[in-house]
Amino acid sequence: MCPPHFCPLCQNHQSFSAFVSLYKHIRSIHRNDKTFNIRCSLNPGCGSAYTTFESYRSHLNRYHRDLLNDYSIQIDHSLNMTEHPSSLLFSNMNIIQEKEDEPFVKQENSDEDELEKFEDIRPSKNNIPWPLSTGLINEEDSVEQFTVNSFEKHYVRFLLDLREGHLLPQNIIKSITNYFTAMLNILFKIIHHQATQSSNSLLIPLADIEKLILQIKTSMCNITKNEYQFSKRCEEHFGYVAPCEIRINDQGDCGYYVPIERSIKNLLNKPDVITYLIDNLNDNIVQTKKDPDLILTYRD
């Protein structure tokens, strides 16, 4: 009889009669634990610690796959060594192992599919549907004449969505800008190559295209140069209200707050906000008049 296996991630160290049962338990219960940390001690040659379930599963599939299909041991022992030649015996064992691997892999895939569906349905504070600026750009295509300044506005909106929607730090935003500028360099090289290969003359000279791309790259780099430049663009294009600093003590500790008056003022200056407020007020008045169960109080 095999010794029991204990889950090192459970507080009560739940026991399992087979390792495959322990593995399924870890996969379904602990795979998304933030403090996932498990050490493999299945044989003296192991001992490495794994901080993610994917790395732990990869290790098991590579070095301990026989334990994930340990129910094949009984079938292997049921073969009569004296009745079959050795070559036939090994071929049968390979066939058995291949057939038994299939249900485990299929079960694992089906379990993962169910888990992914569950994770898609389960509400999460990190899965907030933050809108990107693509819809805004498409809406303004017909009413706005695009210039370098308008490009800067949309790019600031794009970076703002990334920062606020996905909690990306400033160094990641700067890396994204570096990749975009590198791709613009590649884009100009492609345009230059196509222009030299074409027999038709360009309507726009390559020098003007290069100048425009350089202007766009400079604008993108200036936006993400530092936090001050980014905040300045947000204030210029979207009415960003910078927090005010309050000195707390003589040691230099400070607190910050956003002036509610300026925030409300910027909100009311947005188009259609006043209209929505008036419509909502009128709807409430109409609903109140239509409700016969309300008792109204009249005072002088």
Say if residue 151 is exposed, middle or buried (CB neighbours under 10 Å; 0-12, 13-18, 19+): middle
Distance CA 224, CA 233 (A): 10
User: Over the stretch 240-293, which tens digit does the pLDDT of each residue have?
Assistant: 777 888 888 888 888 888 778 877 887 888 778 888 889 999 998 888 888 887
Taking each helix axis from N to C terminus, what angle separates 227-238 and 148-166, rounded to the nearest 10 degrees? Answer: 110
CA atoms within 13 A on the CB side of 248: 7
Q: What pLDDT is attached to residue 300? A: 54
Query: If you average pLDDT over residues 45-71, what whole number do you get?
Result: 80
**Locate tokens 């301990």: which residue?**
64
> Using an 8 Å Cβ cutoff, are 37 and 7 in contact?
no
Confidence class for position 202, pLDDT limits 50, 70, 90: low
User: If DSSP codes are grouped into helix, strand and coil, which group holds residue 215?
Assistant: helix
**CB neighbours (10 Å) of residue 24?**
17
Q: Residue holding tokens 């299945």?
A: 42
User: Which residues on neighbouring strands pair with residue 94, listed in sequence order?
Assistant: none
Interacting residues of 263 by C-beta distance below 8 A, sequence separation 6+:
241
Are 61 and 67 contacting, i.e. CB atoms less than 8 angstroms apart? no
CA distances from 123 to 119, 120, 126, 127, 192 (A): 8, 8, 9, 7, 49
| HSE (side-chain half, CA atoms, 13 Å) at 281 | 6
Is residue 92 predicted with pLDDT exceeding 80? no
HSE-up of 223 (CA within 13 Å, CB side)? Answer: 31
CA triplet 52, 5, 118: central angle to 5 degrees?
45
Q: Which of 52, 24, 28 is nearest to 38 (CA)?
A: 52
| pLDDT value of residue 13 | 81
User: In terms of Cα–Cα distance, which of 163, 130, 298 is closest to 230?
Assistant: 163
Domain residue spans of the chain:
5-121, 134-238, 244-300
One-letter amino acid of 15: S
- For 217-238, the pLDDT digits (tens) are 888 888 888 888 888 888 888 7
